[in-house]
Structure 1
């Protein structure tokens, strides 16, 4: 069946055909998979997409689709095959497991039209069960695949609070551990978005030569140096001379933004220092209550804005805050916010562990403070406040230069393209079983 948008395919029969396997894809708000299809097509690949029926982030199926039926539609000239799943994105463990497993099963059973004839599959592995269809195609037809590991499984599953203890956790941990090991073993190559995650996979037995760091680049058409939004400071009652620390993004437990609120409590002697929190999330009300409890008039909450507007809004601040809770998993996490801030040429105040802080130091793009320590964060804000504005702007330019050299689309898309081409070439040299003729 054909769904909204109509189907279409790249027309060059000589192009290397890539099937992107991702449980999530637009119209769901997931920019990375769509960005992958666009950059690969610009580099000459023919791209198809195997994905699920759109239901993220609400768990409600988007209009025009049914969670019970396979559909084929098109987006940006790419053929998109959507297979059924159990729609769920609440806190229910059973619902989330059903969501992941139902799509793993349907994509494996119904995705063969794309995987059997592909030269290579590219798996956007978040969740890790998304690799099931590509793994089966590798074993059944010899279709090679490159695995993009976005989250460390099974660790990230339990870090979210699912199956925290008992026999169910032990069984799930063993099963998921064996499954992820299998996906690594049969992948032609594995990519990760941070150096720390690469080190972890190598320590777990994945050959070092099989794992490459491919950073998630920013949307460079939007995320670039910009002029401040006129009137933004004035609407918050701020003057041009006030020192503004801004955080933009999700307000959730993973971000641990309470440390920033408590740090502001230690900066009462600097009334020109302000913290502006832009966005929304499950922790926002608690953060607002904490600021009210402390009587902090220098903490401001701004509703979520579009990415296009956020560029100018963030340019109205003096420094951008990157904040993560002090959890072992976050030490090997590179939040996409780092690339976004670098791409926009703004200085960074990192209150995060591991890779995020290391990137700021390597780029000389700002300041770092240990996660979860409000006293140390307050000291770091004092240091940033005392830094001349010209020096802060120089830090922003250094971050932008670091982004262009190491984290940009031009640097990472070419690396990914080379890995896909190499995997496809190896696949052509292997016996291919029961494959349809193109």
Structure 2
């Protein structure tokens, strides 16, 4: 057969709606994955729409470009983005998080996007509002609803340490059960989510593994020049953490490690609701610096300029997800040190990649011992670092990750010959 139709992408000509609270210009967390997915579908001929919040992450401050705007519709790289205003809590409590989700839910339900009838609705979780809104829009049009579980708010709230977390966890779990029970198929980014998703009422046969991918480019600048530009001494070990500075991350371990090791430089790059508290804790430490988030083009080079890249979590957190920073770390080609629980998605991914070492969470002495070993054996540090890009090439390429999501949606739509969507849409 020579007709061009045989070579069309399975989603070409479809109208798709992605519901994701976070979206470009947000460049950390879930936002980059939502953005690349929507732009991928648009580039392959789908009429792609996104229902999103106003940019605010990871600083938890409204982007000044959107100040005073209640609704906005914009075109970004061929994607029509419909934005709705919501509260932005500068500090996290159970009540403020509930108000954040409630404001998203109310505004998005009252003012759904004006767009042609979609063929399918996809949602990025852990947003509770986004999942519920997406499920209801899909039910209204009687089309497949496909949530992708990046994290689960119920589990996160129970472990967060936020005041009122237990009550918030119960409410979140009910919302998650409501949304997931209405899904044609459910994507999970790591197998550690499978039992929790099943416990929320999803049949095992409706769950598909769709791991995230490394969404950043490879470093291109000279490490020496980048370090000089950043003011990092060539003879000092530099430990870098990038991304959100929230309660879950437990970044106090890095502050305490800096206090114990004046000969090691620590850099916290990013923003978040715990940044001010961390700065206060580190006030007298000359070997700990705070940097704003790097520009997207500079981000890979900054990561590669460090000697060690750190990912941390509080000891009470059993994290099923894989932080987006970890896929970026692997691409940078530097060894990773993970101060996390031995169980969970982060630890599993570090072990699977072979690109780093694990140490117990909230244990600065153990972290410093691992750093000392890496500094004493540069060849081993280089070997660990080299495993990261190799792992990205083998398992975390954007083409592979986006292709898995294409397959998930095609299956839900029945374009692969399946009937996954039948009977799954209901009020």
Distance change (3 Å), C-alpha of 1:427 and 1:261: same
**Cα deviation, residue 283, structure 1:** 4.1
Secondary structure of the equivalent of 1:97? helix
| 2:268 corresponding residue in structure 1 | 277
Distance change (3 Å), C-alpha of 1:61 and 1:390: closer
| 2:49 corresponding residue in structure 1 | 48
2:327 to 339, 349, 352: 339
CA distance in 2, matches of 1:289, 1:150: 32
Secondary structure of the equivalent of 2:16? strand
Give the aligned CA root-mean-square deviation in angstroms. Answer: 3.4
| 2:14 corresponding residue in structure 1 | 16
**Cα deviation, residue 304, structure 1:** 4.0
Q: How does 1:198-277 map to 2 (within 5 A)?
A: 198-220=194-216, 222-224=217-219, 226-228=221-223, 230=225, 232-233=227-228, 236=231, 238-239=233-234, 241-267=235-261, 271=263, 273-277=264-268
CA contact (8 A) 2:246 2:273 kept: yes
CA contact (8 A) 1:21 1:123 kept: yes
| 1:394 corresponding residue in structure 2 | 383
| 1:127 corresponding residue in structure 2 | 127
CA distance in 1, matches of 2:237, 2:224: 16
- Write out per-residue CA displacement over residues 36-91 of structure 1, whole angstroms, 9 at most, x where no aligned residue: 11122334433122234556642478448632xx55432222223344x4433333
- Return 358-367 or 241-250, whichever deviates more: 241-250
CA contact (8 A) 2:11 2:44 kept: no
Distance change (3 Å), C-alpha of 1:348 and 1:282: same
- Write out per-residue CA displacement over residues 140-170 of structure 1, whole angstroms, 9 at most, x where no aligned residue: 33210110122213233454555617xxx64
| 1:361 corresponding residue in structure 2 | 351
Q: Does 1:419 align with 2:408?
A: yes
Distance change (3 Å), C-alpha of 1:191 and 1:228: same
**Cα deviation, residue 285, structure 1:** 5.0
TM-score when normalising by structure 1 = 0.80
CA distance in 2, matches of 1:299, 1:55: 26
Q: How does 1:295-374 map to 2 (within 5 A)?
A: 297-329=286-318, 331-353=319-341, 354-374=344-364
**Cα deviation, residue 369, structure 1:** 0.7
**Cα deviation, residue 181, structure 1:** 1.1
CA contact (8 A) 2:181 2:201 kept: no
CA distance in 2, matches of 1:262, 1:305: 24
Q: How does 1:82-161 map to 2 (within 5 A)?
A: 82-83=83-84, 85-91=85-91, 96-111=97-112, 113-114=114-115, 117-160=117-160
- Write out per-residue CA displacement over residues 90-148 of structure 1, whole angstroms, 9 at most, x where no aligned residue: 3375554344224323433443754x721111112241221223322343332101101
CA contact (8 A) 1:48 1:79 kept: yes
CA distance in 1, matches of 2:322, 2:351: 14
CA contact (8 A) 2:49 2:79 kept: yes
CA distance in 2, matches of 1:427, 1:89: 42
CA distance in 1, matches of 2:272, 2:50: 30
Secondary structure of the equivalent of 2:131? helix
Secondary structure of the equivalent of 2:223? coil
CA contact (8 A) 1:21 1:131 kept: yes
Q: Which has the larger radius of gyration?
A: 1
CA contact (8 A) 2:132 2:178 kept: no
Structure 1 stretches lacking a partner, 5+ long: 1-11, 434-438
CA distance in 2, matches of 1:364, 1:279: 26
- Return 411-420 or 54-63, whichever deviates more: 54-63
CA distance in 2, matches of 1:283, 1:64: 23
CA distance in 1, matches of 2:24, 2:360: 36
CA distance in 2, matches of 1:303, 1:177: 34
CA distance in 1, matches of 2:171, 2:243: 34
Count of residues paired in the alignment:
405
- Return 337-346 or 304-313, whichever deviates more: 304-313
Distance change (3 Å), C-alpha of 1:375 and 1:76: same
Structure 2 stretches lacking a partner, 5+ long: 1-9
CA distance in 2, matches of 1:61, 1:299: 29
